[in-house]
Chains A and B, each alone.
Chain A
Amino acid sequence: MELLLTFLQKAIGQGISILFGASGEIITEKSGNLNLGIPGIMYMGGISGLMAAFFYEKYAEVPHPFMGLLISFAATLIVSALGGLLFSLLTVTLHANQNVVGLALTTFGVGFGNFFGGSISKLAGGVGQISVATTASAYRTSIPGLSEIPVIGPLFFSYGFLTYLSIIVALSMGYFLANTRKGLNLRSVGEDPATADAAGINVSRYKYLATTVGAAIAGLGGLYFVMEYLGGTWTNNGFGDRGWLAIALVILALWKPINAIWGSFLFGGLFILYIYTPGLTRATQELFKMLPYVVTIIVLVVTSVRHKQENQPPGHLGQSYFREDR
Chain B
Amino acid sequence: MNNEYAIELKNVTKRFGEIIANDNVNLNVKKGEILSILGENGSGKTTLMNMLSGIYFPDSGQIYVDGREVTIRSPKDSFNLGSGMSHQHFKLINVLTAAENIIWGLPGAERIKMNQIVGEVNALCDRYGFDLNPTQKIYDRSVSQKQTVEIIKVLYRGADVLILDEPTAVLTPQETQKLFNVLRNMRKAGKSIIIITHKLNEVLELSDRVSVLRKGQYIGTVPTREATVESLTEMMVGEKINLAIDRSEPGKPELRLDVRNLTCKNREGISVLKKVSFTAFSGEILGIAGIAGSGQKELLEAVAGLEDIESGEILYHAPDGSIEKLSEMAAAEIRDLKISLAFVPEDRLGMGLVGSMDLTDNMMLRSYTEGKHFFTNRKKPKALAERVVDKLAVSTPSVETPVSKLSGGNVQKVLLGREIASSPTVLMVAYPVRGLDINSSYTIYKLLNAQKEKGASVLCVGEDLDVLLELCDRILVLSGGIVTGIVDARTSTKEELGLMMTGSKVGGQKHA
Contacts and interface: CB of A to CB of B under 8 A. Distances in A.
A198 B55 contact: yes
Interface string B71-87: 00011101100000101
Nearest to B76: A200
A29 interface: no
A192 B87 CA distance: 14
Contacts of A310: 95
Contacts of A201: 104-105
Given A199-B91, A199-B104, A201-B105, 17 more contacts: A180-B110, A180-B111, A181-B103, A181-B104, A182-B110, A184-B103, A187-B93, A187-B95, A191-B93, A192-B93, A198-B87, A199-B75, A200-B105, A310-B95, A315-B94, A323-B55, A324-B56
Contacts of A182: 110
A321 to B, nearest CB: 13
Contacts of A312: 95
Interface of A: 179-182, 184-185, 187-188, 191-192, 194-201, 307, 309-310, 312, 315, 323-324, 326
23 contacts: A179-B111, A180-B110, A181-B108, A181-B110, A184-B104, A187-B96, A188-B93, A188-B104, A191-B93, A191-B95, A191-B96, A192-B91, A194-B91, A195-B92, A199-B104, A200-B79, A200-B105, A201-B104, A309-B95, A315-B95, A323-B55, A324-B16, A324-B56
A191 B103 CA distance: 16
A195 B111 contact: no
A185 B96 contact: no
Contacts of A323: 55
Contacts of B96: 184, 187-188, 191
Contacts of A185: 104-105
A309 B94 contact: yes
Nearest to A305: B268
Contacts of B187: none
Given A181-B104, A191-B95, A309-B139, A198 B110 contact: no
Contacts of B55: 197-198, 323
Contacts of A194: 91
| Prevailing SS type, chain A contact patch | helix
B53 interface: yes
Contacts of B112: 179-181, 184
Interface string B96-126: 1000100111111111100000000000000
B268 A200 contact: no
B104 A191 contact: no
Contacts of B92: 195
Nearest to B57: A324
A182 B159 CA distance: 22
Interface in B477-499: none
A195 to B, nearest CB: 4
A195 B93 CA distance: 8
**A-B pairs with lowest CB-CB distance, top 5:** A200-B76, A199-B105, A195-B91, A200-B75, A191-B93
Interface string B342-368: 000000000000000000000000000
B505 interface: no
A323 B111 CA distance: 29
Given A180-B111, A191-B95, A198 B104 contact: no
B137 interface: yes
Nearest to A192: B93
Contacts of A188: 93, 96, 104-105
Contacts of B110: 180-182
A200 B94 contact: no
Nearest to B109: A181
Given A184-B100, A307-B268, A198 B93 contact: no
A185 B109 CA distance: 13
A29 to B, nearest CB: 14
B348 to A, nearest CB: 13
Nearest to B92: A195
B454 to A, nearest CB: 38
B224 to A, nearest CB: 29
Contacts of A179: 111-112
A185 B54 CA distance: 19
Contacts of B85: 198
Nearest to B47: A326
B189 to A, nearest CB: 23
A85 to B, nearest CB: 24
Contacts of A184: 96, 100, 103-104, 112
A198 B92 CA distance: 10
A110 B16 CA distance: 44
Nearest to B101: A188
B137 A309 contact: yes
Given A307-B268, A324-B56, A198 B75 contact: yes
A198 B110 CA distance: 21
A192 B94 CA distance: 9
Nearest to A196: B105
A295 B108 CA distance: 41
A275 B380 CA distance: 69
A183 to B, nearest CB: 9
A201 B107 CA distance: 10
A184 B111 CA distance: 10
Contacts of A199: 75, 91, 104-105
Contacts of A309: 94-95, 137, 139
A258 to B, nearest CB: 17
Interface in B328-343: none
A181 B113 CA distance: 10
Given A195-B91, A195-B92, A315-B94, A200 B74 contact: yes
Contacts of A307: 268
Contacts of B139: 309
Contacts of A198: 53, 55, 75, 85, 87, 91
Contacts of B75: 197-200
Contacts of B106: 181
Contacts of A195: 91-93
A185 to B, nearest CB: 6
Interface in B198-215: none
A200 B106 CA distance: 8
A114 to B, nearest CB: 41
Nearest to B140: A309
Max chain A Cβ within 10 angstroms of own Cβ: one of B79, B95, B100:
B95
Interface string B36-66: 0000000000000000011110000000000
Contacts of A180: 110-112
A309 to B, nearest CB: 5
B421 to A, nearest CB: 30
Nearest to B91: A195
B373 to A, nearest CB: 39
Interface string B260-276: 00000000100000000
